[in-house]
Structure 1
Amino acid sequence: MRHTFFVLCLLISLGSIQAQDSTAVRRDTTIVPAASDADALLAGMTDSTESQPLLPRKMIFTQRAFWGPKGLLRVMNVAPLTAEGRAKELKIRRTMLITHQIGGFVTLAGFVAQGLLGAKLYNAQGQEYVDTKKWHERSATFINISYATTLALSLTTPPPVVGARRGFTSIKLHKYLAIVHLTGMVATNVLAQMIQTNYELKPYHRAAAYATFGAYAVSIAALTF
């Protein structure tokens, strides 16, 4: 069940790259305008929906499923597609992406703790091995939950007003690295299960874990610095 979930997440992330949608708070782009800017944006939407479309042309399919013209929230009339509604959605988007970033740092801290426990586990013996292994597994569960939650926040945010900027940006680097560390997460979890019956796979498990941590840390740094 765990493996199927992470494979599904991988497919979703691949779709997010193709859609070229911004799913993180950028240093050089204001996702949600200030109060006065929001009023100007709302006025622009109201004056001419042709010059300022309410939705971007490209969205990842998870966003389209909820926030698209015929998305679930539109059909249920929870979030009508209006200029006023889109202004509110931009505020929701900012909150979700800030939470996404916080979740990223929490998950990164979990990776560090997991790495320390893993290193200790490789040399532990007897009761120390049993106790360390128990905490190692608990840490893995925590990381899987926080990682999946952080991913879900980025994939279900309301879409921005316009699509992503052209050219290579820190946002796109963040996305490309997401494919790497998500693949690593899948591999690490699969190998963790296989180790139970094939101890010789431990070096591969450790290598996958380190590669995942490295890609994840760089993806966080790409948006922070």
Structure 2
Amino acid sequence: MIRSSIIGLLCWLTINFAQAQDTTRVAPVAADTTKPATQSADDLLGSLTDSLPTTQLLPDHMIITQRLFWGKKGLMRITNASPLTTEGRSNELKVRRTMLKLHQIGGFVTLAGFIAQGIIGSQLYKADASNYRSLKELHESMATAINISYATTALLSLTAPPPAIGARRGLSTIKLHKYLAIVHMAGMVATNILASQIGKNPELKPYHRAAAYTTFGAFATAIVVLKF
């Protein structure tokens, strides 16, 4: 039941990321849109408090989760928790900055979990009867922890308030980060599905391992392109 719920959540997150626009980069409205942007994570976070235009408080394009919480008729508006005003949007950008910082921290925590899981998994493949059960239980517990950390990290990005108006277009590390997110989310779904089927069909083990390695590679690269 828990694994099925996690798989469902990961599928939903994957769909939302696939539909997402480039909403993590905020630039002044009058920015030059003809020059490709090269941004680091520090540049990203440092630009999240840019001043807002008075004529439009929300961007034209928002992902479903942002509309659900922060749209004109979103949960934060109808409950009056965050009225749609110039001052309110300025505060929301500060919240966005904090949430994306936590998103970065969660990414590193999850990456550490992936590395630990890879070590445990390699030992599990070579384990004999004496320690197979204990390694399998540790592997499953680590998988649950990683899924929770991964989903939390993704939700921090997907539910953060939308950026200011005037996102820069063109080639950017932020877009690459987004495309890699689609890959590693799909990999997470595949890894969990295959893991749930291995007990019935041990021949799926190589495919499970390949999906896990692909997920790790895409996830690690997504972090590297922002940080370095």
Give yes or no for TM over 0.5. Answer: yes
User: C-alpha separation between the residues in 1 aligned to 2:189 and 2:141?
Assistant: 17
User: C-alpha separation between the residues in 2 aligned to 1:103 and 1:200?
Assistant: 33
Q: Does 1:132 align with 2:135?
A: yes
Q: CA deviation at 1:75?
A: 0.9
User: C-alpha separation between the residues in 1 aligned to 2:195 and 2:211?
Assistant: 10
Q: After alignment, is 146-155 or 119-128 more displaced?
A: 119-128
Give CA deviations for 1:25-64 in whole Å, capped at 9, x if unaligned.
Answer: 843343333xxxx7xx3xx65xxx22xx211111111101
Q: CA deviation at 1:127?
A: 2.5
User: C-alpha separation between the residues in 1 aligned to 2:11 and 2:25?
Assistant: 20
The residue that corresponds to 2:181 in the other structure is 178
Higher relative CO (Cα under 8 Å, sequence separation at least 6) belongs to: 2
The counterpart of 1:22, out of the listed 21, 24, 32, is 24
The residue that corresponds to 1:74 in the other structure is 77
The residue that corresponds to 2:29 in the other structure is none
Secondary structure at the aligned position of 2:73 is classed as coil
Would you tell me which structure has more helix in proportion to its own residues? 1
Structure 2 residues without counterparts, runs of 5 or longer: 27-39
% identity of equivalent residues:
56
Q: Does 1:4 align with 2:8?
A: yes
Q: After alignment, is 174-183 or 1-10 more displaced?
A: 1-10
Q: Is 2:22–2:178's contact at 8 Å kept on the other side of the alignment?
A: no
Change over 3 Å in CA distance of 1:10–1:23 after alignment to 2: farther
Letter in 1 for 2:22: Q
User: C-alpha separation between the residues in 1 aligned to 2:15 and 2:48?
Assistant: 28
Q: Does 1:32 align with 2:48?
A: yes
Q: After alignment, is 64-73 or 162-171 more displaced?
A: 162-171
Superposition RMSD on alpha carbons, in Å? 1.7
Q: CA deviation at 1:69?
A: 1.2
Q: CA deviation at 1:162?
A: 2.0
Structure 1 residues without counterparts, runs of 5 or longer: none
Q: CA deviation at 1:183?
A: 0.5
The residue that corresponds to 1:143 in the other structure is 146
User: C-alpha separation between the residues in 2 aligned to 1:62 and 1:112?
Assistant: 30
User: C-alpha separation between the residues in 2 aligned to 1:23 and 1:143?
Assistant: 27
The counterpart of 1:190, out of the listed 189, 193, 199, is 193
The residue that corresponds to 1:164 in the other structure is 167
Q: Is 2:93–2:163's contact at 8 Å kept on the other side of the alignment?
A: yes
Give CA deviations for 1:119-163 in whole Å, capped at 9, x if unaligned.
Answer: 000000123111111110111000000000000000000111124
Give the TM-score, by structure 1 length.
0.88
